[in-house]
Amino acid sequence: MNALAATNRNFRQAARILGLDSKIEKSLMIPFREIKVECTIPKDDGTLVSYVGFRVQHDNSRGPMKGGIRYHPEVEPDEVNALAQLMTWKTAVADIPYGGAKGGIGCSPKDLSFSELERLTRVFTQKIHDLIGVNTDVPAPDMGTNAQTMAWILDEYSKFHGYSPAVVTGKPIDLGGSLGRDAATGRGVVYATEALLAEHGKSVKGLTFAIQGFGNVGSWAAKLFHERGGKVVAVSDITGAVRNPNGIDIHALLQHKDATGKLADFSGADVLNSNDLLTQECDVLVPCALGGVLSRENAGDVRAKFVIEAANHPTDPDADEILSKKGVVILPDIYANAGGVTVSYFEWVQNIQGFMWDEDKVNTELKRYMTKAFHNIKGMCQSHDCNLRMGAFTLGVNRVARATLLRGWEA
């Protein structure tokens, strides 16, 4: 099941539990605006090439729309739509004053030079500059984009609207980016896990963790679990996988990966088949890579007691049912990986105030938001007698529906 179908299914189930009116349910599913633009740039050799850029703005009832911009060959409208909708529920669960958006350009960033990427980003910004803004829609980096991309968008946007650092988040620190933003998603995953474990009378110390994906999110999560006394027993990424039942020294593994570019040949662990990572013996499984990795085929073999969804949509609905029947507790993506958008909100707040925070304040506030959101989800689970995923969806959908009704949606 693709991301859009799964998101719609979860939304409809939440709407049913909440007893939403069918007219408002339909209205909440349809995006506020979909934008499709043509971006033509001269390549370095002088030839012209055209790309298609998208921006889906899903909902703005709770505040400006917020979501990443990805540069990827398979940026297609359905997926962008699902991710925009997911951002609406995610920001509502985290209780930050945003709605959801998502965008991207169908291109292969590795096939473009630095200056071609800059030209493409500037042309895309020229086409959408009057549809984004500090109080309208605030983009951020995603797959294939980074702080440099955001710097170009900020500069191009500012040519039309004056210096506006709050128009994008995930910027370089020198241009008003926030301290702690780099680690934010991984750190949020750890705070979310701590809140869940505390509910079960456990803590990170002494538990075993298997982590799929060792990019930004996975490496930060592994490092922070390790520092808190957790034992990371298996790690994988696209280059391979390693395991050590006595615990991997994460700092040494990070140094090895920086030096060699891959996980293999690390002296402190044995080689593992990447496909076996998800079924490793561990207490907590943390998928941080792609969507749809836990499916009907492998869910029955998962041995973890807790699954923390650091990736977007890693568990398909069939796997969800199988794992629930086994008594595995799943912490859903729309809550577990909300640390990134929460610190993006802190960055936006700092830019608007023109007053920057130190890193301790960023982390303290992030912990407060993640912990509060967990208790709000648990409250929904108790009042609607549902699992954590439906607890999170009902919490998010209910907040957006209430804001929509209060603003007078029929007028």
Catalytic residues: 102
Cα diameter, the chain: 66
Check the annotation: does 178 bind a ligand: no
Tokens of 21: 């009116």
Residue 95 three-state SS: coil
Check the annotation: does 244 bind a ligand: no
Tokens of 184: 């934010």
State the Cα–Cα distance between residues 404 and 28, nearest whole angstrom: 9
- The count of residues in the chain is 411
Check the annotation: does 66 bind a ligand: yes
State the Cα–Cα distance between residues 102 and 58, nearest whole angstrom: 8
CB 102 within 8 A of CB 7: no
Orientation angle between helical segments 147-161 and 114-128, nearest 10 degrees: 40
**How many other C-beta atoms are found inside a 10 Å radius of the C-beta of residue 63?**
17
Check the annotation: does 22 bind a ligand: no
Please report which helix (H) or strand (E) contains residue 257, including its range.
helix 250-260
Alpha-carbon Rg for the chain in angstroms: 21
Check the annotation: does 60 bind a ligand: no
- Where residue 180 falls (left for φ over 0; alpha for ψ -120 to 50; beta otherwise) is left
Orientation angle between helical segments 184-199 and 339-353, nearest 10 degrees: 120
Amino acid at 168: V
Nearest to 334 by CA among 362, 370, 304: 370
State the Cα–Cα distance between residues 55 and 38, nearest whole angstrom: 12
Please report which helix (H) or strand (E) contains residue 270, including its range.
strand 270-272
CB 151 within 8 A of CB 172: yes
Please report which helix (H) or strand (E) contains residue 12, including its range.
helix 3-18
State the Cα–Cα distance between residues 291 and 74, nearest whole angstrom: 14
Annotated binding site for substrate: 66, 90, 344
The binding site for NAD(+) consists of 185, 216
